[in-house]
Every structure is written in structure tokens, then in C-alpha cells.
Structure 1
Amino acid sequence: MNVSPVNTPLGIDRRRLLQLGGVLAAATSLSACSGSGSAGTGGAGDRNKGSITVWSWQGPATALKALVPEFRKKMRSLDCPADATANRVRTIDTSLLTVGGAVHSDMLLWDPAAPVEAAVRQLIGTFHSVPQLSVRLDRLPAGHREAIGFWLAEWRRLRPQLLDGTVEPGRPDELYTLVRSAADGVCVIDVHSDRVVPLRPAGQHEIVLVNATPVDRLTVAAGEDSHTADITVHDPRGRIIDRCRRVLTPGLHTVPVPSMGLATLRIREGGTQ
């Protein structure tokens, strides 16, 4: 069918508008076939459905980028309120398809009576997107508000790395349990499972370790060269609980970091001085 290039009242070429409608219809059909809109338990089967949805969307998403770039400046992770793991996986999945656009998380919710770690886990799960808080701040206990203030301040400080840096999300089949993002000599590593974390101090002047695991320490593996690091450790509420200087010789090292806490390693110039 030939369509004349007559502009619609919105200023979009009618041919492009019809193409866009076809792309959206195809995306909707593929999304429905993948089962992304059905309720699930969050297990492996649901993760597989999510993977199918991502791959199914790849063609339509590419066409959308080519057709109307102005429509893709903001994307959002959907249908995972109060689910920190799903928020992490879906925001990272979406960011891999939305180069140059802003990815927003789904709603951040938690029980005000829960420990502060529960609130921080939600925030860490959206670290690589724009967090969307949907809790009433005036109804939260002081510890929760203190934690929110600290983690949002860190998110703003590290935004060039988290949103615009070079991201290595790790293995999708492990639900991105080790995510590394770097820019301008700063590297952020958020860890979501008890595992060895490889460090690459060369070329970095700051490494931020985010402990999203249930244990109160992180095990890191230093590279071939020795580096001296000034380490500052924060608890989940952002309070400084330790400052020390460590020489990171090649091999394994244990860094005491509380669960849902953060450690900043400032790498000193001159090797082990």
C-alpha cells in the first residue's frame, strides 16, 4: 500500500505514523506471546519469560529508535513494585536497549516497620536507573529517612558512572549479581551474591563497593600489581564505621562491609606508598 507523505496534526509523516503503529502492534503481540503480562512467582520460569520478552523486543525496539527517537528518551521498568531483584534485572535489561535514554525503575515500596536494610535493598536494586520512590517519607522512621538521604546522595554523586559509564552487567542467567560500571577513573561495583569480586585498580583512583549480599564482608581479588587504598566503610544508614589503609597485594583480601553497606577505596598513587 502506498501512503502519501502528508503530515498529521501532530506533525508526524503519515507513513512514519503507520510504520510506528505496526511496530507497536508487533511489539504488543510479541510481548503477549512471551507471557510478560501474566502473574508469576518470580522464579526461573518467569525469568525465562522475561528473557524471551527482551529478545522479542529487540527488532521492534531497533525500529522504534530509527523511526521516532524522541519517543525513547525515557523508559521504565514495569510490573515489579517492591521487588528489588526484578527491578535490578529489568532496569539493566532495559538500559541495554535504551542507549542514550533515561531508564526509570518501577515503584520502590517497603514496609515502614521493616529493618533499614530492607529499604536499602530496594534502593540498591535500582542503582543503574532513575529510582522512583513511592513511599510516604513523612511516615517512615528516622533510620529509613537517613538511609534514603545517604543512598540518593551517593546515586547523584556516582550518576556519571551508573547511568553513563561503561557497564559490565555480568551474566543474565545469574540475574546480574555482579555489576561493574566505570567512568572518569571511578569504578562502582555492586555485589548481590557471596562471591569473589575481581578488582582492577590500574587506571582507577576510586573504587566503590556496594554490598547487597546478606553477609557482612566482601572478598576481593587484587590484580598482579600492589596498590595502597584508603578505605572508608559506611553502614546501611550511611554512617562511617571504619577508616583504614590497606595494601592490596596480588591475591584475595577480605573487606569488612556491613550487609547493605558501602565501602569506598581511594587508590593512592605511587604503588604501595
Structure 2
Amino acid sequence: MKEIKSNYRIIRIDGADDLNLNIVSEKLEEGLESIKFKITSENPIYMPKVTISWKQPIIDIHSYWYPTAFRNKAFHADWARGFFSKATISAPVSCLYNANGQNRHTCAFSDALNTVNINVGVHEEDGTFECKIVLFTELSKKTHEYEGELRIDTRDIPFYESLKDVSKWWETFKKYKTAFVPEAARQPMYSTWYSFHQELKDYEIEKQCSIAKKLGCEAVIVDDGWQTEDNNRGYAYCGDWKVSSKRISDMKEHVKRVHDMGLKYLLWYSVPFVGLYSEVWNRFKDKLLGYDEILKTGVLDPRYPEVREYLISIYENAVAEWDLDGLKLDFVDEFDLPYDKKDNYNEFMDFESVQEAVDCLLSSVIEKLRFIKPDIMIEFRQRYIGPYMRKYGNMFRVTDCPNDPITNRIGSMDIRLLCGNTAAHSDMLMWNTDDTVESAALQFINILFSVPQLSMRFENLPQEHFKMISFWLRFWKQHRDVLLDGRLIPYYPALNYPVIVSSTEEQYLAAVYADFVVHLGKEANKNIILVNGTLKNKLYVEIENDLGHRKMEVLNCMGEVVKKENINLGKGVLIVDIPVSGIAYIK
């Protein structure tokens, strides 16, 4: 083990004793430091497992955030496994913060390609966090050199500012150059998954598209089912990617009809899967990372050039032949090298590292598709939302959480904290049509700060529900600048963001999801919009400075005006009467 004294702490490096190790610590500013290290070997080797560790006193720290924590913001134990990050899973960053959401310890690592294990766990004996970053837990490739950089931030700033700075830091590396984000990627979309699953028919899709366009959607994502007549939700027939004529009689003409409605068209692919009953099974059955007996599908091994060339050609031909505007590339986190195949590298592969092969595959996909269509859209789903994925795609969607508005809110906020200008999309909205219109509206209200995706059969909606979704889509498009591009403040992360505020020079918009007091500070001296995301008829507002007399207009969840009045926003706590799932405009 080697120890060095950085600016603020002792850093331990374990596992590299037989290698050459060079470490440089740099203080970037008060509370922010960088530790760069380089491991070298005289000859190319498989790097041994290396652990970088340090301690952080548990002082004024009350909760823990990492990219795939979702609802669980609890502390980990030092003996726990922590979480793993690689190109197609999560991101190498975690944040400890206090009950007010102030950063106390954010650590991030520069290598988002290879598998990295991060464990920030409570050490019971001395009341500290034992912080560990473990490298080379998965066999990668023989090399004689490895470089990495550890960033530790203990500045007293909001947790979201610390995470935003990590995202900007990653952007400074050339290897993380982000994909262009077309305007269409930031517009509401209709998805077929929850509304149709695999029971697709071209004329039914077009029927929904026609209504979706009138409501304000600008694209459709046609999900699983277009390539198979099987309705079992498995992947046994994936791999050929030929259109099922029983689903879509003529794909090119179908896409053209949707285009004529004014909508963009995106198509789903499960990237790594080649099904047992596909025509190409025999071609690729010996070029697999693994096989799933339940799903009846193999996971292709991208280390084979033939595999990558096949997949790239599938996507190129589809975009060129059918005039597609984008692809939804699914299950890329399944590219994983099982331990029992760690020694199976052979002469027909051109990569030893699975992750480097995935990088080559996905980098080539977006490069080739942008040559055909410069504003191509590529969607990835949460967990694959790290800095490498921003190279390959321009849309990150919340993981599947049907009919679950709270998880949708949490997921969209977690994405936004790190995604920079990459478009953050909600999971597709769906709900039970027998629910009250106010309860159904919560599905939309909880994802206001992301790009909405809808997945309902519009003709099955009660009239009130249709009126509600029409209103909220209009509201979202009208206020998109503040919702997507404003100064975002997600309060109380330990409680899963019960209050979210975003503001511009012209507007201050606060959405409240629980019985919390909304604090209106100095920045609220502008047009104010209060969104009631609770099932109560009032919100509590604390006013820091006397904002004087204002005009207020109150709307219900369907956009109907229920009240207009003059109010006095004097200093102190004010109760504002707003219907359940309603809005108050204060000008």
C-alpha cells in the first residue's frame, strides 16, 4: 500500500505495489482538489485490482446521492458492495450532503468507460465514511499504462451545483465530447409502448399520431413489436430487424404518412439481443457474451468486427430506407463480460475490452447516422446515462415506471443533475382512466422539468382527462424555457425532491409535491407560477421580501379559470388557495 498526503486528506493506493505509481495532488480552490495518478508497467499486463481509498468524517452529513440511487438515498455500510459504473451503466460520481441539501463531499472519477466500483460507506468504529474507488474489477485488456483523475469536492455549495460542476468537468475531456441535441429532441413525444405493447398496427399508430400532433407532440417513438408477430414480450425473435407485415404493411409509406402529419419518427431496437428463433441465430450463436434461457436470447459480443458491422448496417439501412428521424437503442447495459468468459479472447476479435468495443460500436452508430441525417435523435434509458452515453445519444429517458409519478419525478431530476444539455425525458405517461382527473394530472405535474412522453390510447380517455392533458401540454410548451433552461433548484433530495423551482429573468416557477413551505427569496421578484402537485387545495408560501400587491389568476387541472383576485405578497407566510393539481399565476 502507498499513502500520500493530499491537500486535505491521506489517499491510500492498494494493489499497485509491484507497478510504477506516480501521484500528483492539486488544490483547485478552497475545498476542491484533484488527485491525478499514473500506473505503468514495463510490459503489457492485465492490471491487478487497485483500490483508492480515503476517509471523510461524518460531520453535518445526512444523506447520500449517486446516479442510480432512485428512491433510496440512505447511507451505505463500508462492507457493502457500493455501486458499479462503466460506459453503459451509471456514472462514477457520488455526493454526500446535509439536510439542507448542501454539499459536504462529492467524489468523481475521470474513467467512465471501464468498470469502476464506488463505495462510500459508514465505518462504525470511528464515525467516518470509508471512501473507495476500485479499478480493474472486470478484465479489460493488457496494457502497460493507465491514467486516472479523482476529483473531491467538499465546498459548502448546494449539492446540485457540485454535481453540475462534475458534469462540466467531464465535458473538458475530449473523449467525452457530447452529441449534438436537435430541437426536436426537446419536444413532447408519443410512445407506443404502454398503449400498445407489441400489439402494433400501422393504422392504429397513425390514429394516435394524428391526435398527439393536435395536442402538441412533435414525434412518435414506435417501440417493440414492429419486428415480430410474437406477443410474449420476450426477445426470442429479435435480431433480424425485418418489419412484420402483419404489424406494418409498408414501413416507408407508414413513416411518410406520419411525417405528413408533422411528426418525427423514431424506431426501437434492442441492440445486443439476437433471439433463438431469429434467422441470424446460427450466424452469431458462437459470437455471444451470454445467453438468457428465460428470454430465449443471446447477448452479442461487440468485440467481433462482424457483430458491430452487422448492427451498424441494420441502423444505417433503416434510417436511409425508411427516412427515420431517430432510434431508441435499448438494453445496451447488457454488454457485460461474464467472469467465466474472461479468457475467451480470440484471433477473430479486434478488442480485448468489451467496453472499448461498445464504445467503438456506439460511436460508429451515431457517426454513420449523422452522415445520413445530421439531426438524428438517439434515445437511451436510465441506467445508461453517464458521460460516455452523452457521446452516443442526445435523449436520456427515465427508467420504466408505469403509472408511478413519484418515481418519474425522482428519475427525471437524477438525470438532469448530470446530463448538461442532453435532453432529459420522462418515462411515458400512463394512468388508469377511472382515476380522478386531479389524480391523473399528477402524472404530468411530476415530470414538468423534463420532456414529456405520453403513452395512452387517446380515444379511451374520459373527456375531462383529455382536456387535462391538452392543457398541461400547452402549459409545458408555453413555459418550456423556464422548465428546461431555467436555473433549476431541486430541494430536499433526501426526501426525493418535494419542491422544485426553476427561474429565468422573467419567470419564477415552483412546483410543490408535499406539505412544504415554498420559500420565495429575492429572485422571486418577477412573474410567479405556483403549481400544486398535492392532493390538497392550498400551498404555503414564505415571502422573504415584501413583494407588494399582485394580480393572481388561479386555474384548475384542466386549465379552467376558477378565480381572479388581487393579493398582497407581504413579508411572512401566506396561504394560497389553489385547487388540487391546479396553478396560480401571480403577476
- Using structure 1 for the length normalisation, give the TM-score: 0.75
Q: Distance in 1 between matches of 2:423 and 2:71?
A: 28
The equivalent of 2:581 in structure 1 is 260
The equivalent of 2:178 in structure 1 is 69
Q: 2:491 aligns with which of 150, 166, 170?
A: 170
Q: Does 1:81 align with 2:402?
A: yes
Q: What letter is aligned with 1:140?
A: L
SS in 1 for 2:427: strand
The equivalent of 1:110 in structure 2 is 431
Q: Distance in 2 between matches of 1:213 and 1:180?
A: 15
Q: Distance in 2 between matches of 1:47 and 1:127?
A: 29
- Displacement of 1:47 in angstroms is 11
Q: Deviations over 1:54-81 (max 9, x none)?
A: 9754352848984341124211111212
The equivalent of 2:459 in structure 1 is 138
- Displacement of 1:200 in angstroms is 3.2
Please identify the structure whose Cα radius of gyration is greater.
Answer: 2
- Displacement of 1:213 in angstroms is 1.2
- Displacement of 1:221 in angstroms is 1.1
Q: Does 1:199 align with 2:308?
A: no
Matches within 5 A, 1:229-240: 229-240=550-561
Q: Does 1:189 align with 2:510?
A: yes
1:114–1:243 Cα change, 3 Å: same
Would you say the 8 A contact 1:185–1:203 is kept in 2? no
The equivalent of 1:10 in structure 2 is none
Q: Distance in 2 between matches of 1:211 and 1:262?
A: 6
More helix by share: 1
Q: Distance in 2 between matches of 1:149 and 1:194?
A: 27
Q: 1:156 aligns with which of 468, 472, 477?
A: 477
Q: Distance in 2 between matches of 1:109 and 1:84?
A: 9
Would you say the 8 A contact 2:502–2:508 is kept in 1? yes
Structure 2 unaligned residues grouped into runs of 5+ = 1-65, 77-81, 94-108, 113-166, 180-391
The equivalent of 1:212 in structure 2 is 533
Q: Deviations over 1:106-130 (max 9, x none)?
A: 1111011111012210001110111
Q: What letter is aligned with 1:245?
A: N
Q: Distance in 1 between matches of 2:427 and 2:174?
A: 22
The equivalent of 2:549 in structure 1 is 228
- Displacement of 1:204 in angstroms is 3.6
SS in 2 for 1:98: coil
- Using structure 2 for the length normalisation, give the TM-score: 0.36
Q: Distance in 1 between matches of 2:522 and 2:504?
A: 13
1:105–1:53 Cα change, 3 Å: farther
CA RMSD of aligned residues (A): 2.8
SS in 2 for 1:145: helix
- Displacement of 1:146 in angstroms is 0.6
Q: How many matched pairs?
A: 227
